[in-house]
Amino acid sequence: MKKLIEVKGVTVGFGSQIVADQINLVLYENEALALVGGSGSGKSTLLRTMLGLVSPKSGEILIEGHNLFALPHEERVNLQKKWGVSFQNGGLFSGLTVLDNVAFPMREHTNLAPRTIDTLASLKLRMVGLDEQAANKFPSALSGGMATRAAVARAMALDPEMLFLDEPTSGLDPVSAGSIDELMRSLRRSLRLSILIITHDPNTIASVCDRIAMIVDKKVETGTLDEMLNSTNPKVREFFDNVRVQAALCERG
Amino acid sequence: MPERRSNEARSTMTRQDGASLRFVEVKPDRDKIHLVLDGEWTIENAAAIERDIDEAMRRINGHPFDVVGDGIDKLDTSGAFLLKKLAKGDTQTHLAEKQRTVLEFLPDYSEYTPPKQEKQPVAVSVLSGVGERTYVGLDFLWEIFEFIGRIALCFFSNLAHPSRFRLPSIVRHIQETGINALPIIGLLAVLITMVITYQGAMQLRMFGADVFTIDLTVISLLRELGVLVTAIMVAGRSGSAFAAEIGVMQLREEVSALRTIGLSPIEVLVLPRVIALVIVLPLLAFLADLIGLAGGGLMSLSLLDISFTQYLSRVEDVATPTMFFVGMIKAPVFAFAIAVIGCYQGMKVSGSAESVGRRTTLAVVQGIFVVIMVDGIFSIVFQKAEI
């Protein structure tokens, strides 16, 4: 399988504090990888490093074989166009309506007709389950769950090959969370996207992701759900036993 | 992106030839026209595809057609959207399985209709605009006095419990608005007196009265300019900082959090800032007076050949305590106005990052405006009282 992103010996942290040490991680083509770990274990920081927003203390990030931090600016922008990112708090532009938020990347990077862009943007909003009424609201008027969905819609604006989602289902009711999970599954099936999801949601882990990477004690452990359940590390086993129980409960409910 | 550009260039070229289009080929058959689709139907080519579709539609000119789409290499949601737009209704389509899954994944196509905005006649909108602004202005007056009232209430009720004055917060704001502002205010005071002394000397020399330059400098500095320049600088520096700090706290719901903890934002956020500024601005103005006088001495030495000792004795003759206090009495009033307006605008922030910018601008503009207006009122009062 083709390696899209390879994290090689990356150490991240703030000041003298190190949150993740010598991390090795690979995201393959057309796979969904869950990045899990306790609060403050450095998941978001690792994601920000993979996106090139933060420089690692050591190690390198290889994007399709190129070192992200050594690439010239223009090539980096071209790579970034193939990525869709939704941040934990949405990261929506507060001065634009939801529709304009989704339309914004298209206006900047394509020369489609304005009307087509608006229609495409409203289509993407409908894909994440937002109606036209929500489309014309400003982000400050949205509930947390709606903001998350709008952020996912914006991440998909440029039809990316890779999606990075930071807790896309947190703060959503089970039904909406389920529809986001379904969306991620169908994105992979029909558009063959690769997705990296930071999540705590047992359902997402169990039903969307093929592989899981867990940050424990500043190190990363990867494997399928079954492998994680039989891990030699008791902390990993404990975490995924909980995941399995909760996922099973939800299934029954 | 060179790839996209070349694709578009090619599609423009072929269109000019009148031959086949790059993404949509028109193949007439006996009873029906086939539209044979080709290439990568992705967002990178979407603009070119859209143009090709329009061109193909123009050539077909309303004849029935079907769509042969199994030649598409790569299809994403944008491409699928254009495909759906092309093959709407019961148009027959021939697609491969992988393309069909993308197409089915997409919600039904319908044109996005922007929300309707009721348009008013110009006369009505002009009049209603004037009315609206009047009400906004009246509301502002009402609200700012209410705000001052609440600050006063909080201040007087805190007098009974002095520990509620939050000394650490006051000290922090004294540091930020006062001590950190010293260098820039000192520099400004020197520059302003230099300019006045220079201009005064140039004009008065024509009457042979250049000794009075010192009178001009001292009187204008002590009565007006020292405190005015300081206040304008502080309005720009600290009024904006107050508005932005409280505004961002408002956006991040920190202000609401304070309320739910049972604390009054006026007591925790506004009062320390107001008190700190009222303490600091007179001190800054005093310092501006001193440094300004020193700057005047420097200019007199170089322009008028008056020695420093002569300059000082002249200053002693001209300056009176009344003159000094007439200047200084304005400082706490200016400080109060700047701090209240800055905090008020901060509390009014809501919604977007844009609102922080707008409110911060308002804080500075209104702060400086009020400072100059109050200065004018003081002048009138002093003149009537013959001070």
- Tell me the per-residue pLDDT of B244-278, one tens digit each, with 9 for 90 and over: 999 999 998 899 999 998 889 999 999 999 999 99
Residue-level pLDDT at B15: 43
Distance from CA of B273 to the nearest CA of A (A): 28
For residue A33, what pLDDT band results from cuts at 50, 70 and 90? very high
Q: Which residue in chain B has the smallest CA separation from A118?
A: B112
| Residue B351 with chain A: CB contacts under 8 Å | 94, 138, 140-141
Residue A201 pLDDT? 86
Average pLDDT value for residue range A26-50: 88
pLDDT above 80 (res B125): yes
Task: Name beta bridge partners: B283.
Answer: none
A118–chain B Cβ distance below 8 A for any pair: yes
The Cα angle at residue A171 between residues A168 and A172, in degrees rounded to 5: 75
- pLDDT for position B176: 94
A78 CB burial (10 A radius; 0-12, 13-18, 19+):
middle
For residue B269, give the nearest of B146, B169, B357, B158 by alpha carbon: B169
Amino acid (1-letter code) at residue B90: D
Q: Decide if B284 contacts B185 (C-beta within 8 A).
A: yes
pLDDT for the residue numbered B6:
46
Which residues of chain B lie closer than 8 angstroms to A116, CB-CB?
A: 46, 50
Weakest-pLDDT range from A221-225, B96-100, B297-301 = B96-100
Q: Is B18 helix (H, G, I), strand (E, B) or coil?
A: coil
Q: What pLDDT sits at residue B2?
A: 45
Residue type, B32: K
Query: Does A78 lie at the interface with B, CB-CB under 8 angstroms?
Result: yes
Residues in chain A: 253
Number of other residues whose CB lies within 10 A of the CB of residue B210: 19
Which contacts qualify for B194-199: CB closer than 8 Å, 24 or more apart?
B194/B295, B194/B296, B194/B298, B194/B299, B196/B220, B196/B221, B196/B225, B196/B296, B197/B295, B197/B296, B197/B299, B197/B300, B197/B303, B198/B299, B198/B303
Average pLDDT, chain A: 87
More confident residue, A4 or B87: A4
Domains (range + CATH), chain B: 15-112 (3.30.750.24), 141-384 (no CATH)
Q: Does residue B201 surpass a pLDDT of 70? A: yes
Alpha-carbon gap, residue B262 to B251, rounded angstroms = 19
Element (H, E) at B120: none
Question: 3-class DSSP state for residue B35?
Answer: strand
| Nearest chain B Cα distance for residue A203, angstroms | 21
pLDDT at residue A170 in the model: 81
Mean pLDDT computed over A149-160? 90
Segment B48-69, tens digit of pLDDT: 898 888 888 888 887 888 888 8
- Between A93, A112, A140, which is nearest B46 by CB? A112
Residue B222 pLDDT: 93
Measured between CA atoms, how close is B351 to chain A, in angstroms? 5
CA-CA distance, A19 to A39, in Å (whole number)?
11
- Residue corresponding to tokens 């914004």: A104
Distance (Å, whole) CA A44 – CA A197: 10
Q: Which chain B residue has the Cα nearest residue A188?
A: B102
> Rounded to whole angstroms, what are the CA distances from B363 to B47, B256, B338, B350, B359?
45, 22, 8, 15, 6
Rounded-to-integer distance, Cα A199 and Cα A35, Å: 7
Query: pLDDT higher for B153 or B110?
Result: B153
pLDDT class for B12, splitting at 50, 70, 90? very low
Q: Which of A80-89, A95-104, A205-214, B191-200 has the lowest mean pLDDT?
A: A80-89
Q: Indicate whether B20 pLDDT > 70.
A: no
Counting one residue from chain A and one from chain B, the pairs whose CB atoms sit within 8 A come to 80
Which of B45, B53, B77, B250 best probes binding to A when mutated, by most A CB atoms within 10 angstroms? B77
The mean of the pLDDT values for chain B is: 88
pLDDT digits (tens, 9 = 90+) for A202-213: 888 888 899 999
Q: How many helices (H) and strands (E) does chain B have?
A: 17, 6
Are the C-beta atoms of B79 and B117 separated by less than 8 Å? no
Least reliable range by pLDDT among A236-240, B12-16, B161-165: B12-16
Q: What is the rounded average pLDDT of the residues B202-228?
A: 90
Lowest mean pLDDT among A119-133, B113-127, B231-245: B113-127
pLDDT score, position A211: 92
Q: What is the pLDDT of residue B373?
A: 96
Which residues from B are below 8 Å from A90, CB to CB? none
**pLDDT above 70 for B1:** no
- Band of pLDDT at residue B132, cut at 50, 70 and 90: very high
pLDDT confidence of residue B209: 84
CA distance A41 to chain B (A): 24
**CA atoms of B332 and A79, how far apart (whole Å):** 57
pLDDT band at B341 (very low <50, low <70, confident <90, very high): very high
Q: Has residue A103 got a pLDDT over 90?
A: yes
State mean pLDDT over A10-17. 84
- Residue A68: which of A144, A4, A22, A14 has the closest Cα? A4
Examine the predicted complex and report whether its ipTM is higher than 0.90: no
Q: In this structure, are residues A98 and A108 in contact, taking their beta carbons and an 8 Å threshold?
A: no
The pLDDT > 90 percentage for chain B reads 52
Count of beta carbons in the 10 Å neighbourhood of residue B239: 34
Give yes or no for a contact between B332 and B281, defined as CB atoms under 8 angstroms apart. yes
Interfacial A residues in 24-43 facing B (CB < 8 Å): none
Q: Which residue has the higher pLDDT, B303 or B171?
A: B171
**pLDDT tens digits, A41-85:** 888 888 888 888 888 888 899 888 888 888 888 888 888 888 889
